[in-house]
Chain A
C-alpha cells in the first residue's frame, strides 16, 4: 500500500544540539523523497530532497539519509536553532520525479529550547 509515517510525534532538543527526525515509508517503488518544514500558519517549505539512487545528501546544516533496505528516511539538523522549531514532514513520490503526487507522513513537531 501507500503510506509514509513518522516514529516520533514530538522532538524536544536544546539549542545548539543536533536533531534527528525519522520517517518510515512503505512503498518500495518510491524513488524520490522530500522533507518539508511547516511553521504555524504557513505552507510546507522545501528543505531537502533525495533520490533513491543516493543514500545521503547534504544541504546547509541539514542532511538527509535514506536506507532503502529498511525503508527509512531521516533528517538531521546540525546546531539546532530556535528558528528550526516547526513541524517537519517527510513525503514520498511513488512514481518518481517531482510532478507526481506527494504522499505525506504524519509530521514531527520539533521544539527547540534555549
Chain B
C-alpha cells in the first residue's frame, strides 16, 4: 500500500538555525499538507499546497516558514530561524480527493 514517507525521523538543531523537513507524498496525490503536534497536544494544521502554490495557511505558519515542491516527488517544509517553541512532531500528509494520509513524522528538537 502506498504511503507518505518523511525524513529525517529525528532532527536536532540549534536555535536560530535553518531546518528543512522532507516528505515524499503518495505518488498520484495532488494535495499536500504540513501539520505539527507539540508533545501531548492535538495535531495542528500548518499549511496546504496545491498546484504549486499555498492554498491555505494557519497563524502558526508565519514568515519563518516556507514550503516547496522542488521536483515531482518531494515536498519540503523549511523553518528559516528556529525557535525553542518550534520543537514538535511535524507531519506531512497528502490526498487525492480524500482522505488525507499521514507520514510518521519528523521529531524536531530545538536546543
Contacts and interface: CB of A to CB of B under 8 A. Distances in A.
Interface of A: 32, 34, 36, 41-46, 49, 89, 91, 93, 97-107
B65 interface: no
Interface string B37-58: 0000111110010100001101
B75 interface: no
Contacts of A100: 48, 55-56
Contact of A102 (B41, B45, B104, B105): B45
B99 A98 contact: yes
Leading 8 A-B pairs by shortest Cβ distance: A98-B98, A43-B102, A101-B45, A99-B31, A104-B43, A43-B104, A98-B95, A44-B102
Contact of B48 (A36, A45, A99): A99
Given A43-B105, A98-B31, A99-B31, A89 B43 contact: yes
A102 B42 contact: no
Contact of B99 (A43, A49, A105): A49
Contacts of A34: 98-100
A98 B96 CA distance: 8
Contacts of B100: 34, 46, 98, 102
